[in-house]
Structure 1
Amino acid sequence: MAETLVDLTGKSCLVTGAASGIGRATATLMARLGARVVAADVDAVGLAHLAADHHDVLCVVGDVTEPHDVRRMVSTAVERNGRLDVAVANAGVLPLSDVLETSPEEWDRVMAVDGKGMFLTCKYAIEVMQANGGSIVCLSSISGLAGQARQAAYGPAKFVASGLTMHLAVEWAHRGIRVNAVAPGTIVTERVRALKDEPGGPEYLDQMARAHPLGRLGEPAEVARAIAFLASDAASFITGTVLPVDGGYLAR
């Protein structure tokens, strides 16, 4: 029988930001690969649609900027499955603005969700993974590995994701906890589709499509497959990496 490279059968998995986009694609794929998935998001309506489409996915409404909510997401996975094997720290917001357009309030919001939210997800996942090990996958970005225009808040927050990944990988390897990240290029999520109706959005999308050597934007399912690989035992000797899933953008 041919070996299945990515097999998540029986794995207890938590995916944040799972109501749409990359998070939803990841939760759906992991469930198909045999995982027992807890999907979390602040978007209750989006989670309800996910639950209706995938009855085997348990959904939890919560805000990743609130420590109590993140603890509840993690504890739900542990109570349901007896442990937590995989955590995908995906929740994030994506404003499109330069430094002059970015208000202090917007900076704080992006750092709270994309920075603090990722920190809390990793923190409380590691707290329960210490006994048996586990795998964490953070969502960075091409903006977390290289500079981009009109990413004054989002880009620095994704540098937090890349840095957190590397530091935690070194810090927790001795406990069998692997920490990796994916760095997507521009992906056709609901948020990215909405950019076409924002000032400068259509021009930005056209520019980004041309900037990816493969000549197109990516799809959420393409990022989800990379996340599932890093989360799985097939990546057992990989930790501390930030894997671009970017159609060649960073190779230019």
Structure 2
Amino acid sequence: MSTAGATGRLHGKSAVITGAAFGIGRATAVQFAREGARLIVTDNQGDPLRKLADELRETGAEIATVIGDVSVEADANRMITAATDRYGRLDVLVANAGIIPLGDVMEVSAADWDEVVAIDGRGMFLTCKFAIEAMLATGGGAIVCLSSISGLAGQKRQAAYGPAKFIATGMTKHLAVEWADRGIRVNAVAPGTIRTERVKQLPDEPGGSEYLAAIESMHPMGRLGEPAEVASAIAFLASDDASFITGAVLPVDGGYLAQ
């Protein structure tokens, strides 16, 4: 693993990253390892998660895995207690786990809605809740939630995902105000369309190629983002470089929301 761009600004910090097996979560785990963090990486997919952990261990990173579902209260609690048990404290939570279905309100079923809100909404609530409990015991910490451009502005075919990301945006702001005086900072990133594994699969779905071409053209920089570009923003918000920033929702979107 290259150390290019590493500053060591997370050296020794204990961090939990949910949804770490793929995409932005995986890129964040790689970035945090470069920055010297001690990691707990979590996902509901065990094999790719263990592969990531093995790769990072080879670079000297301290890392352990927790396989579970963030929407299950006991699993979310295990993810946080893994950090306090192994490292004695929790300094950073990256609440990244989520699913991204596409569909308008006529296409999305009630079951689809329930699944998205359970994972993207309830799962973020639970991991933040248990993280704050752990951080209060040691004097504070930093939480970075994954919102989206869909959590700040309306988009077509986001009838379930977009509202779930508005939950992320709202939770970020409310938790930031609730816990600022206890040393806990809560911020979010709002990525534009990022070249994750999920986005790369879109051309194989009905209407996916057309959707992808249209959304790419809506980003003023004329391209999609890369997971590592979002990970860099997350690392900044998690670090002491952002010590006077809380309640912020940082777009990482190639100018999408500036229009």
TM-score between the two structures when normalised by the length of structure 2: 0.95
Say whether 1:83 aligns with 2:85: no
Structure 2: any 5+ residue segments left out of the alignment? 1-5
From 224, 230, 237, the counterpart of 1:223? 230
Alignment-mate amino acid for residue 187 of structure 1: I
Aligned length: 249
Say whether 1:22 aligns with 2:24: yes
Secondary structure of 1:29's match? helix
The equivalent of 2:136 in structure 1 is 130
Matched-pair contact (CA < 8 Å) for 1:6–1:232: no
The equivalent of 1:194 in structure 2 is 201
Matched-pair contact (CA < 8 Å) for 2:147–2:168: yes
Displacement of 1:196 in angstroms is 1.0
Alignment-mate amino acid for residue 202 of structure 2: L
Secondary structure of 1:58's match? strand
Matched-pair contact (CA < 8 Å) for 1:138–1:165: yes
Q: Distance in 1 between matches of 2:250 and 2:56?
A: 28
Structure 1: any 5+ residue segments left out of the alignment? none
Displacement of 1:5 in angstroms is 6.2
TM-score between the two structures when normalised by the length of structure 1: 0.97
Q: Distance in 2 between matches of 1:10 and 1:52?
A: 19
Alignment-mate amino acid for residue 231 of structure 1: A
The 4+ residue runs of structure 1 with deviation greater than 4 A are none
Q: Distance in 2 between matches of 1:34 and 1:13?
A: 10
Q: Distance in 1 between matches of 2:8 and 2:127?
A: 23
Q: Distance in 1 between matches of 2:230 and 2:143?
A: 15
Say whether 1:118 aligns with 2:120: no
The equivalent of 2:47 in structure 1 is 45
The equivalent of 1:163 in structure 2 is 170
Matched-pair contact (CA < 8 Å) for 1:38–1:77: yes
From 99, 104, 128, the counterpart of 2:105? 99
Q: Distance in 2 between matches of 1:196 and 1:34?
A: 37
Secondary structure of 1:50's match? helix
Alignment-mate amino acid for residue 234 of structure 2: I
The equivalent of 1:210 in structure 2 is 217
The equivalent of 2:148 in structure 1 is 141
Q: Please, what is the CA RMSD of the aligned residues?
A: 1.0
Displacement of 1:234 in angstroms is 0.3
Deviations 1:54-96 (A, max 9, x none): 1132111010000100110100011111100000000000001
Matched-pair contact (CA < 8 Å) for 1:19–1:40: yes
